[in-house]
Structure 1
Amino acid sequence: MNKIEELTKQAHKLWKEGKEEQMLPYLREAINLCKQENNFSKQIEILNEYAGALRLYGHYDKAVESIDEALELIKLHYDTNNIQYATTLMNKANIYREKKDYFTAEKLMLQSKEIFDKKGDKSYSYIGLLNNLSLTYQEIKDYKRAEQLQLEAISLLQGNAQYNVPLAISYNNLYEIQKKLNKHTNAEENLIKAKDLLSKEVGENHPLYSAVLNNLAELQVKNKNYHKALELYKNALEIVKSCYGTQSDAYLSVKSNYEYVNDLILTLEPDKIENLKIDKNYSTPSKTEKLLDKSRKFSKQVEKLIYEYFPNLKNRICLALVGSGSECLYFDDELSKDHDYDLRCQLFLTDEDYISYSQNLEHIFSQYLENKVIIQTISNFYIYYTSYKNGPSTIEEYRNIPDEYLCSATNGEVFVDNLGEFSKIRQKILNYYPQDLIYKKLAYHLNNIAQSGQYNYPRLLKRNDKIACSLALSEYIKHYMQVVHILNKKYMPFYKWSFKNLKNLEILGEYTSKKLNELISSPDIEKENIIDQMCKKLVSQLNEEHFTTGKIDFLTYQANEITQNIQDENLRKEDNWIK
């Protein structure tokens, strides 16, 4: 046996013991020896293993470097249309999956799958790809596709003893998927199969074995077998502690589960659980009741459950209905009910509380509230709508965010916020743009009103270019509504609700709504006069609000005057046709 084989053998031994981090020095040395010997095939193989070990410990950038090195070697010395290249692509995809870049992960895995499919390859590597692609779809909540891939993997694995470990992993993964699809039949049977296979193949001190124990415990909690669940969590905790230590995410997650069940046994005996009264009269809202009103009532039930089962969370929760959807603007009607209109309430937690409690909260919500509670972290909500976990602060940060996203981040209603963190960020955004940016945006939109409505529209009308007239009119309306929203220090919502939202605006809201209806319904020959009236009204309002003093009603003059109010020299000197 040569030196490279000795090193990889020792690394594999450590992997079987669940000590992946200790593999790294052995694999690094093996890679260097391969380079010295120009053993490209072995180097590619070990680079893949090395990247996998790095991935497990969160060293994603180094893992990608290792995989890219392997891919380059394949391109230089072999054909890229082969299984080795497909497998390496899959390994790279897994790094991005761990980084939570699911778009890149899916793209790479589908490229890999295309090669496997062309080759008609149904080998172990292909099965691994099915498992990993299934996990990716789980992460993006496409559970149907995830289940389809997992079932295909299981069908290929069954009956082949050398694939017992991946078969066990597939059974365990299938439980996670079907749980989300509310398919609980055979769930325990599949987990026991996974447990027995792993016990035989890798032993009962391996992280994979602990993962199955954790899921078995979860199932026992659902079935109210709390003492059995506690014992399973205890065993899983000891394994994770031995493999990863007490500071690892895996250990903290299982520890949270264990403590939750222990508290449940001590404080919430089964008869108490059965007797907890929850009002389930929260069906689809009536024709006259808005979903936000119904959700506000529903949040009381959510609050009651949390206070009963999770007293430590009492002062840390935020319940709300905010984000996208007509219901969050209070604009929902009968037409709204044909899509994405389920009664719901959002529970916002800190990152730490989410890690500690989310899984256990889901248990309780699924039991009593039919999974109508969406559990999110505060940071992820604001990252989604603003790109910043604490919301935007600087002018440049605000400039990067579309108005409708800021509107979605601040609409709806916060029903209760005992911690106050969610509302603190919300209020900061509601305080509106920095003053210099208000000037900048006003100037930009005023210029566009002048260009589209005061200049281009009458010229296009003379040319009898009806399509271009419609486009100019559309631009005029859009920018006029933007100015009215800015004057009210309100973020304009998604375009289909921007006109309806005018009724909520004190400054020029009612006037603009009336004049725009008049503008749209009037003959073309009268539209120019209505535009002139509206622009004069805007100048008057800008004077009244002390944005300008000039009386010229061609709005580029107003835009230029407003620009001079900007305190930031660089922003002031920037072209005021730039948003």
Structure 2
Amino acid sequence: MAFINGIELSRRFHFEFIEPLISRHFPNLRYASALIGPGSEVLGYDTKMSADHDWGPRVLLFLQEQEISNFDEVFQCLKSNAPDEFYGYSIDLTQTVITSLPRFLKGKLGMEISEGLQAIDWLTFPSQVLAEIVGGEVFRDDTGQLMSVRKQLQYYPQDIWLFLMASTWNRIGQEEHLALRSGYVGDELGSSIIASRIVRDIMNLCFLMEKRFAPYPKWFGTAFKKLDCANELLPLLLDVQLAANWKVREEALCKAYEYIACKHNQLGITDRIDEEVTPFYDRPFRVIQGSKIAQAITKSINDPTIHKLKEKRLVGGIDQITDNTDFRMFNQWSNSKNPTERNILRLVFDKILE
């Protein structure tokens, strides 16, 4: 059986099964149908291997909140009419989620965005979650609400974008000399570990520069290869990863630094920065002075809260603060209205702003 990618399979599932059935049994129902949320197929990276679990013909159905009483009735209708297979794939209707858009968004983001987003709220949203909301495909949207939300969340507001880039440059600035210092004293393992952290920061910076949400680790490298910069930068980053000693590692890092410095200048968001690496004080290490570039970027931030935050700490957002998978899911820990549970990271930002 030829493999059908998940988006195409779900598109067929909607137009050949879901929509005709709802039109017949619920002709007045206004709803949205889409393939968004978690799943490799939403990002377009699914393969035949993906079909072994949590994959198959499915959609998310968004009903109006006032029609909550229809949720179960619609599901039972789908269940009683579903074939055993669809284009050769078994159907698991538990994967076809029926919900409302506000409930879905609150479960993903931990807040009611209809009440308005403050700038700092964006820093609590993992880029993977945002990619899941704006990725995939919408098959039907009777009210236009789903498309409106996807447009609203399409990318970070300008000042958040600047703050995240500045924070990532600052991370590079904090560690660029450490990868060399550790190697200089014979700690090649430590040097390579720090260099790998820098490589990840450079890759994250490139996602930001090209205004693309970076996915979680499984697809991070795959998505990076689709960026405009990948053809030139990827070989340099591989040289960093494969370097046998710190001097070779430094040479590869320097080439990568100079490339992203040039790419930064092309954005035109600061005065022109020096694209060449320079010595780290009097030591035999070459760096790009990432923290100075960070400070240059922050000069363009206008939002008062983000401006105050950058004066205190360039901590970035949740993706810069931690790579812990469970913590990044903190918005989904509880449905409680207790802000201590729902807004842990927001409390951290509030503490910094004191």
Fold match, TM over 0.5? yes
Alignment of 1:164-243 (within 5 A): none
> Who is 1:471 aligned against?
193
Alignment of 1:304-323 (within 5 A): 304-313=20-29, 316-323=30-37
Residue from 5, 12, 19 that aligns with 1:303:
19
- Identity rate of aligned residues, in percent? 25
In the superposition, relative to structure 1, how do residues 513 and 287 fare at CA in structure 2: closer, same or farther (>3 Å)? farther
> Who is 1:559 aligned against?
294
**Secondary structure class of the residue paired with 2:140:** strand
Higher helix share: 1
- Give 5+ residue unaligned stretches, structure 2: 83-90, 276-287, 317-354
- Shift of residue 343 of structure 1? 2.6
- Shift of residue 348 of structure 1? 1.2
Alignment of 1:144-163 (within 5 A): none
- Shift of residue 371 of structure 1? 5.2
> Who is 1:403 aligned against?
127
Provide the C-alpha distance between the structure 2 equivalents of 1:470 and 1:340, rounded to a whole number of angstroms. 36
Instruction: Specify the structure having the higher radius of gyration (Cα).
Output: 1
Query: How high is the TM-score relative to the length of structure 2?
Result: 0.76
Query: How high is the TM-score relative to the length of structure 1?
Result: 0.47
Residue from 488, 509, 520 that aligns with 2:210:
488
> Who is 1:412 aligned against?
136
Alignment of 1:482-521 (within 5 A): 482-506=204-228, 508-521=229-242
- Give 5+ residue unaligned stretches, structure 1: 1-285
**Secondary structure class of the residue paired with 1:415:** strand
Residue from 55, 64, 79 that aligns with 1:341:
55
Residue from 371, 378, 385 that aligns with 2:101:
378
Provide the C-alpha distance between the structure 1 equivalents of 2:108 and 2:233, rounded to a whole number of angstroms. 28
Higher strand share: 2
Provide the C-alpha distance between the structure 1 equivalents of 2:226 and 2:63, rounded to a whole number of angstroms. 31
TM superposition outliers: structure 1 runs of 4+ over 6 Å: none
Provide the C-alpha distance between the structure 1 equivalents of 2:38 and 2:231, rounded to a whole number of angstroms. 25
Alignment of 1:60-459 (within 5 A): 286=1, 288-300=3-15, 301-313=17-29, 316-353=30-67, 355-369=68-82, 372=93, 373-390=96-113, 393-430=117-154, 432-452=155-175, 454-459=176-181
Provide the C-alpha distance between the structure 2 equivalents of 1:503 and 1:406, rounded to a whole number of angstroms. 20
**1:482-503 CA deviation, whole Å, 9 max, x = no partner?**
1111112121111221111123
Over the aligned positions, Cα root-mean-square deviation in angstroms equals 2.0
Provide the C-alpha distance between the structure 1 equivalents of 2:4 and 2:294, rounded to a whole number of angstroms. 43
Provide the C-alpha distance between the structure 1 equivalents of 2:249 and 2:11, rounded to a whole number of angstroms. 44
Kept after mapping to 1: 8 A contact 2:120/2:306:
no
- Shift of residue 287 of structure 1? 5.1
Aligned length: 288
Name the structure, 1 or 2, with higher relative contact order (CA <8 Å, separation 6+).
2
**1:48-78 CA deviation, whole Å, 9 max, x = no partner?**
xxxxxxxxxxxxxxxxxxxxxxxxxxxxxxx
Q: 1:376 is aligned with what amino acid?
A: T
Kept after mapping to 2: 8 A contact 1:349/1:375:
yes
Q: 2:241 is aligned with what amino acid?
A: I
Residue 258 of structure 2 is aligned to residue 544 of structure 1: no
